Amino acid sequence: MTNPTLLVAKHTYLTRLKKKSFWWLIISPILLIAVAGGLGFGISYFSNDQPAKIALIGPNTSREAISQSANKLNIKVSSITDEKSAQKALKKQTIDGILTLNGGQGTLVTQPKAPEIDKDQLQAVLSQLFLATQAADYGLTARQTAALMTPFSLKTTVQNQSSQQDADSNQAAKAVISVAVTIIVLLIVSTYASLIGNEIANEKSSRIMETLLAASSAQAQYFGKLLGITGLLVTQLLSYVVLGVGANLFGQQITMVKQALSYLTALTPAFLTYTFVFIIVATGLYLILAAIAASLVNDTSQVSQAMVPVTTLAMIPYVVGLASASNGGNNVVVRIFAYIPFMSQSTMPSLLANQSVNWWQALLSLTISLIALVALAQYGQKLYAKNVLSYSDENILKQLLASFKRS
């Protein structure tokens, strides 16, 4: 005889899997990332360093020398040669700046929105120009002038530079991932808590819960729904894994994709697997709370009210997780939160990413959450069985607190 829990899990999983809303749940984050990446690329492309248009007031020899170095300086020399016309053009913003040269001195005036000009590079070119002019005035030959203007050659190397770059890339990627995990967990908890809440509320509001319990049991309904919704979560996460592998195989020819993947390759499979498992365990904890809260509703209109305690609790590790993404290892509160179920899923990966804890500490935190998951699942099953056939008009939060007290 087929296990009734598995039957409920299969029914819950397949029913939601066939709905367009679930696939939109999978696709929407990808589209959001694609749109954000496209916008970033477009902004970067269209705002790509445009040369600053400069009016140069000075000797013709200086204009010619600066014009020859215009590409290196990322500037464009205007045809304006007198001060009065240059001031009018700058006021009308038809040029970006005015460079006035007078002997060994120069003045650069630019408008606030002018493209960035490399002042150090410009000063280096002007210094060479001034030096060449001075050499000619002193009667030096072209060879002597060239020898005088030859810069001192200094070669520098950084020992283990590639290793340091890999370490920096690894650290930066893990820090980004730790922030991403914090945000992702909040979104997943909110979404899947709402799913299981609606699943239970639909059955209670249509008054078919009694029929379902007569055919199976409260335990089968409870664990079956939890397994079915968790299966959807695993499906979503595995979809992203498959897409990531596909992007790695076929996206190497796209510069933007290749650049993004270069950061992900710095992450170890162990860290990604740990984070993957922690997301599932943490979501499971919140799903149990959501199932307990949803068992108290009378119809679907009360689902949002029932989910308030769950989402409020989820906001705490969200805030703490963001705070711990960069320097949480030095915060005693963050380190304590890293071992508390419902909180550790955001804080511990952040600490691990920033190498503030060892692997045994990370595994200890995960083990504590697993134990809490098993204990809460058994405790929640008893509350679910008591509340699922209860129809009360009292405030959901009051009923929830009362049910915890009675147990």
304/183 Cα distance (integer angstroms): 20
Query: How many Å apart are CA 324 and CA 346, to the nearest integer?
Result: 9
Q: Which residues pair with 100 in a beta bridge?
A: 57, 107
pLDDT value at residue 1: 37
Tell me the C-alpha distance between 1 and 101, whole Å.
95
Rounded to the nearest 5°, which phi and psi values hold at 99? -110, 115
Alpha-carbon separation of residue 385 from 75, 153, 195, 216, 229 (angstroms): 75, 81, 19, 12, 19
Question: Rounded to an integer, what distance in angstroms lies between the CA atom of residue 304 and that of residue 193?
Answer: 10
Q: What is the pLDDT of residue 111?
A: 78
Ranges in the chain, pLDDT < 70: 1-2, 33, 36-37, 40-49, 103-104, 140-142, 144-145, 147-178, 205-207, 209-215, 251-267, 323-330, 390-397, 399-407
Work out whether strand 75-77 and strand 52-57 pair parallel, antiparallel, or are unpaired. parallel
What per-residue confidence (pLDDT) applies to 41?
63
How are strands ordered across the β-sheet holding 97-102?
75-77, 52-57, 97-102, 105-110
pLDDT at 337: 87
What is residue 371's predicted lDDT score, i.e. its pLDDT? 95
Burial 135-151 (b: 16+ CB within 10 A, else e): beeeeeeeeebeeeeee
Cβ-contact 354, 328 below 8 angstroms: yes
> In the prediction, which pLDDT does 252 show?
63
Number of H-type helices and E-type strands within the chain: 17, 4
Q: What are phi and psi of 92, to 5 degrees?
A: -80, -5
Q: Are strands 97-102 and 52-57 parallel, antiparallel or unpaired?
A: parallel
How many of the other CB atoms lie within 10 Å of CB of 310? 25
DSSP H or E segment with residue 107: strand 105-110
Pairing relationship of beta strands 105-110 and 52-57 according to DSSP bridges = unpaired
For residue 357, which of 392, 317, 322, 324 has the smallest C-alpha distance? 324
**What integer pLDDT is reported at residue 370 of this predicted model?**
94
Tell me whether residue 10 is exposed, middle or buried, using C-beta atoms within 10 angstroms of its C-beta: 0 to 12, 13 to 18, 19 or more. Answer: middle
Report the C-alpha gap between 384 and 306 in whole angstroms: 14
Tell me if 168 sits within 8 A of 339, measured CB to CB: no
Rounded to a whole number of angstroms, the CA Rg of the chain reads: 33
Cα–Cα distance between 299 and 39 in angstroms, integer?
42
End-to-end CA distance of the chain: 33
Cβ 280 vs Cβ 237: under 8 Å: yes
What pLDDT, on the 0 to 100 scale, is given for residue 394?
67
Which tens digits make up the pLDDT trace of 299-328? 777 777 878 888 888 888 888 777 666 555
Return the structure tokens found at 186: 């909040």
Distance CA 131, CA 149 (A): 7
Residue (of 286, 275, 295) closest to 362 by Cα position = 275
pLDDT at 368: 95
> Residue 75 has what pLDDT?
80
> How confident is the model over 17-74, as pLDDT tens digits?
888 888 888 888 778 767 766 776 666 555 555 777 887 887 777 777 777 777 777 7
CA distance 254 to 21: 30
pLDDT of residue 159: 47
Q: State the Cα torsion 283-315-331-334 to the nearest 10°.
A: -30
Q: What is the pLDDT of residue 324?
A: 62
